[in-house]
Chains A and B, each alone.
Chain A
Amino acid sequence: MNQFGVLLKKEWRENFRNYKLFWIPVVFILFGIIEPLTNYFLPQILDSVGNLPEGAVIDIPPPEPEQILAAVMGQYQLVGLLVLILAYMGTIAGERKNGTATLLYVRPLSFTAYFLSKWILASVVGLLSVWLGLITAYYYTMLLFERIDFTKFLQFAGTYSLWILLVVTFVLLLSAAMPNAGMAAAASLLLIIIFQLADGLFGAYWTVSPLKIPGYAVSWLLDSPGNKEFWGTMGISVFLILAMLGSGIWMSKYNASKTKV
Chain B
Amino acid sequence: MDQTTLLMLLLPILVIQLGLMVFTLIDLVKNPNPKGPKWLWGAIIVFINILGPILYLAIGRRNY
Contacts and interface: CB of A to CB of B under 8 A. Distances in A.
Nearest to B20: A26
Nearest to B24: A23
A120 B62 CA distance: 23
B1 to A, nearest CB: 9
* Chain A binding surface, main DSSP class: helix
Contacts, number: 46
B44 interface: no
A229 to B, nearest CB: 35
B39 interface: no
Interface residues of A, number: 25
Contact of B16 (A30, A37, A93, A94): A30
B64 A98 contact: yes
Interface stretch (A82-90, A213-221, A247-255): A82-90
Nearest to A30: B16
Given A26-B20, A30-B16, A30-B17, A19 B64 contact: no
A106 to B, nearest CB: 20
B9 A37 contact: yes
Interface string A106-134: 00000000000000000000000000000
B63 A27 contact: no
Interface of A: 18-19, 23, 26-27, 29-30, 33-34, 37, 79, 83, 86-87, 90-91, 93-95, 97-98, 140, 143-144, 181
